[in-house]
Amino acid sequence: NKTIYDLLVEREGQVMSVGEFNSLIQSIFAQFNTVFLLQSDLYNVDPEETIDVVVWDDNDMYTITLKIDDIIESTIEIVNVEVE
């Protein structure tokens, strides 16, 4: 049995589109009507900086840190996951 944390950490280092990221997070957290990241969010960040997406699940807060891989293609990479 894998935890939510395990499922997220397995994806660290993998490049994915913003749409794929949203689908992944929606399925892991069973929040199918929530959009966690927009393509336009990438344009508001310095490509050298990271983006933090915070997701709540019951009493836990997951901070998923993303790095922009390609701003034109809207691809990102999960670089870190923390749970509090």
What sign does the CA torsion over 46, 47, 48, 50 have?
Answer: positive
What pTM value is reported for the model?
A: 0.93
Dump pLDDT digits (tens) for 21-32. Answer: 999 999 999 999
Dump pLDDT digits (tens) for 33-74. Answer: 999 999 999 999 999 999 999 999 988 999 999 999 999 999
Residue 55's nearest CA partner among 15, 24, 20 is 24
Q: Check if the beta carbon of residue 23 is closer than 8 Å to that of residue 30.
A: no
